[in-house]
Structure 1
């Protein structure tokens, strides 16, 4: 009798993950408006009532996915620390963001679709938690600049550029691979290029 709750808990976890995985595929391909609970249920191999047992609505599934995605996306930025070499830390951040685009392309496209549609469901987070974290890390980058440890750049736009240059490879992966051809690995080549680009950009100028 003691095993039954544990077995149910494992089944519940498995079903919840199946729903979120299916919803991610559907939302990233069709957008929020074009996706239905029935489509998510079919993709997850579950009945519609079963899906609604775990999530009350399509909105609840979507919100859960977005929150998990933002946690994933923000973790590398949280790792920027005052200790250590500033240039190495920023380069490591850009590398990690590129790895996230490589490993989680559907999540990136889901986020991009939400932003392109006005980000109504993300607005409280974008203007709250995200803004606070970006302001905090921009202030840290500004201190590195003031100390002459990296070149004079706008901290906010430095972060924006990293987002744009790394997430592009997930959001426009079909285009990138079509242009480069099958003999190229876009993520390996992008990693080399971005490392060179940001090393040159961030290298401090000698003080006169």
Structure 2
């Protein structure tokens, strides 16, 4: 059963994500966040102490899913399987946490002044690990000789655009909100571009299948 504290903090975090995404950190007011969350303004300070702490919590709410999205890279797997799972996870983040994604993008564009040293280290370490995995696949001849850094940057851009540029997407598609079919089409399109563009054989056996055959 969800406690009152858990319910209120979740409401405040969601409202703060939307306010920070729409107005930025400096222009956002705790009074507006409280009103959007449907709680008294003192509750914001009771749970988060300050607007700065609340902003950092919003960042944390997107950093954890971003790190978790890289889980496929942290275990043995074939390129097609790993990249497919990673892309789907990144699309899911853009769909489920669009406001927090915008806040994170804005933070990065401004030089990440509010990210802690630990958060920066976690993100960089995971990104370098993912890139090293891709380079390993290239070296093994499992995919084309693409630059792993720029492949990763391209995947980030392609998946995060569904959150960070939702207004443009809505304008072009004529839809106020994308539905299940739209997100599935987005995932499939990006996966196809990456798999085919990197010349990855989708029929390669998985790690478990290789062990079984051995």
* TM-score normalised by structure 1 residue count: 0.85
2:180 equivalent to 1:187: no
Deviates more, 1:37-46 or 1:159-168: 37-46
CA distance in 1, matches of 2:159, 2:43: 37
Q: Measure how far apart 1:180 and its partner are.
A: 2.3
Q: Measure how far apart 1:132 and its partner are.
A: 1.0
2:138 equivalent to 1:142: no
Q: Say which of 32, 43, 48 aligns to 1:50.
A: 43
Check the 8 A contact 2:105/2:164 in 1, yes or no: yes
Corresponding residue for 2:71? 78
CA distance in 2, matches of 1:110, 1:167: 12
Check the 8 A contact 2:79/2:200 in 1, yes or no: no
SS in structure 2 of the partner of residue 84 of structure 1: coil
Check the 8 A contact 1:109/1:171 in 2, yes or no: yes
Matches within 5 A, 1:9-20: 10-20=3-13
CA distance in 2, matches of 1:85, 1:23: 39
Q: Say which of 192, 196, 204 aligns to 1:196.
A: 192
Q: Measure how far apart 1:204 and its partner are.
A: 5.0
2:96 equivalent to 1:96: no
Which string of whole-angstrom CA distances, capped at 9 and with x for unpartnered residues, describes residues 189-208 of structure 1? 32232122111122159xxx
In structure 2, the gaps of 5 or more residues are 202-214
User: After the TM superposition, which parts of structure 1 deviate over 6 Å for at least 4 consecutive aligned residues?
Assistant: none
Check the 8 A contact 1:98/1:187 in 2, yes or no: yes
In structure 1, the gaps of 5 or more residues are 1-5
Check the 8 A contact 1:87/1:202 in 2, yes or no: no
Corresponding residue for 1:23? 16
Which string of whole-angstrom CA distances, capped at 9 and with x for unpartnered residues, describes residues 25-71 of structure 1? 11111110111111112222222222211111000001011012101
Shift of the 21–182 alpha-carbon distance from structure 1 to 2, 3 Å rule, reads closer
CA distance in 1, matches of 2:184, 2:170: 12
Shift of the 123–154 alpha-carbon distance from structure 1 to 2, 3 Å rule, reads farther
Check the 8 A contact 1:145/1:152 in 2, yes or no: yes
Shift of the 41–81 alpha-carbon distance from structure 1 to 2, 3 Å rule, reads closer
Larger radius of gyration: 1
- The alignment covers a number of residue pairs equal to 198
